[in-house]
Structure 1
Amino acid sequence: MSVKVGDIAPDFTLPSQSGSLVSISNYRGRKCVVLYFYPKDDTPGCTAESCAFRDQYEVFQDAGAEVIGISGDSPESHQKFANKHQLPFILLSDTSNQVRKLYGVPTTLGLLPGRVTYVIDQNGIVQHIFNSQFNFKGHVEEALKKLQSLKEEQD
C-alpha cells in the first residue's frame, strides 16, 4: 500500500545525521515538509538531487517548508555526505527501509531504491508526489511549484 495525495502522511521517527531523533509529526501545525527519498549517499544522481535541494534551500525556507532527505544509509554516512556537499537540511537514516515501505516507495527494476518526493502541508496532508528515478532536478522544481501554489491558496 502506498501513500497517495490527500492522505495524512504516516508518522515515523528516525535518526538524523547528527544522531538526534526526528519525527515527521514535529512539523505538523508548524511547517510544510518536503520529504524526499533517495537511493544512496554520494552517488552521482543522489548528489545532483541533494545539491539541487541545497541550492534552493532558502527558497524552500521562505515558502515555509523544511526539506528532509531519507535513504537507507547510516547516520555516519549522512554526516559525511552532508559535510562534503554542505547540505543544510536534515538527512534521516532508514537502514531497515521501514519508512520507505510505510510510504510505499517503489524500487526501480526491482533492485534500486526509488526516488520519490512528497510535499506535505502544515496539517500533515500529502499534497503532491513526484516519482522519477532520473529527473533529479525535477524533484526540486515540482516541490517548489506545489509549495508556491499552496502559499497562494493561503493568501
Structure 2
Amino acid sequence: MALKSSIIKITLTYMLLLNNVHNGISDTPNIPLKPTPTQIVIEDISEGRQLKSLDLVASSGQKLSSEKLRSKKCLLITFFPKCFTGNCTSQLTSIRDSYSDFQKAGIEVWAVSTDPAEGPQGQKAFAKFLKLPFPLIPDTDRKISKMFGAVQSEKQMALRMSVFVDKEGVVRWIDKQIDPRNHARDVLARYKAEIAVPKVEKEAQTTSENTRPPK
C-alpha cells in the first residue's frame, strides 16, 4: 500500500508540474530580463538570393512593382528611421542631389520608413519639403521593414540600411553601416566596382572570344 501511495503521489506531482508548465507557471523567481539589443534578422532576404516580388504603394499613391523592373533597372531600397530628422534628411538629400547619376546608371530608388503618409510630420510633407524625386513608402504596420530585418526592436522604427537589387532581381548587398551624408556616393561607387565594370569586362571578353579566329 505504501508503494502504491508513493506512486500516486509522484504521478499527481508530475501532472501538477506539467500543468504549471503549460500555463506558464514556474516555481523559480521572476528574474527581470535585460532589454534585447536591436535585432537584424534577414529571414527570406539575404545577399545572393532572389528578391521576392514586391508590390507596394508610395505615399503619393504611386504603385510600385519590383517585378516590372526586372531585366530593366536595378533597385535601391533605402530604409530611414524618421521624417524631418537630421541624419534622415542627409541620407535622402544625398540621393536627391545625385539622382541624375542614379538614372544614368539605371537605378530605381525607393525609400521606406514607418512614418505615416499624411500629417505635418508625414512622408508626403517630408518629400515635398526636400523636393525628393523618388517615392517614399509608408510602412506603418512594419511589414516591409520586418521582412528585410530592418526594424529597431525597442523603438519599432526602421533601421538605417539599404538593400541593392540588380536587374536580375538578385540581392547584391545589404548595407547596415550607412554614412548618411555620403550614401549616394558610396552606392554609386560600389555599383560601378561590383556591377557595371565587371559587366563591361565580361561583355568585352565574350566579344573577344567570339571574334577570335579558329585554330
With structure 1 as the length reference, what TM-score do the two structures score? 0.89
Deviation at 1:110, TM superposition (A): 3.2
Deviation at 1:69, TM superposition (A): 0.3
* Greater length-normalized contact order (CA 8 Å, ≥ 6 residues apart): 1
> Where in structure 2 are the equivalents of 1:10-89 lying within 5 Å?
10-76=52-118, 77-89=122-134
1:143 aligns with 2:187: yes
Counterpart of 2:138 in structure 1 is 93
Counterpart of 1:114 in structure 2 is 159
Decide which of 14, 22, 46 is 1:4's aligned counterpart.
46
With structure 2 as the length reference, what TM-score do the two structures score? 0.66
Counterpart of 1:126 in structure 2 is 171
For 1:46 and 1:30, how far apart are their aligned partners in 2? 28
Deviation at 1:74, TM superposition (A): 2.2
For 2:150 and 2:85, how far apart are their aligned partners in 1? 19
Which residue identity lines up with residue 56 of structure 2 in the other structure? L
For 1:120 and 1:137, how far apart are their aligned partners in 2? 22
For 2:180 and 2:85, how far apart are their aligned partners in 1? 12
RMSD: 1.7
For 1:131 and 1:36, how far apart are their aligned partners in 2? 10
Moved more, 76-85 or 115-124: 76-85
For 2:190 and 2:141, how far apart are their aligned partners in 1? 30
Structure 2 unaligned runs (5+)?
Answer: 1-40, 201-215
Instruction: Give the percent of matched residue pairs that are identical in Structure 1 and Structure 2.
Output: 28
Normalized per residue, the structure richer in strand is 1
Deviation at 1:95, TM superposition (A): 1.2
Say whether the 8 Å CA contact 1:60–1:144 is kept in structure 2. Answer: yes
Structure 1 runs of 4+ with >6 Å offset? none
Deviation at 1:90, TM superposition (A): 1.2
Which residue identity lines up with residue 77 of structure 2 in the other structure? L
Counterpart of 1:104 in structure 2 is 149
Structure 1 unaligned runs (5+)?
Answer: none
Q: Which has the larger radius of gyration?
A: 2
Distance 1:106 1:141, change over 3 A: farther
Deviation at 1:12, TM superposition (A): 2.3
Moved more, 21-30 or 135-144: 135-144
Moved more, 20-29 or 31-40: 20-29
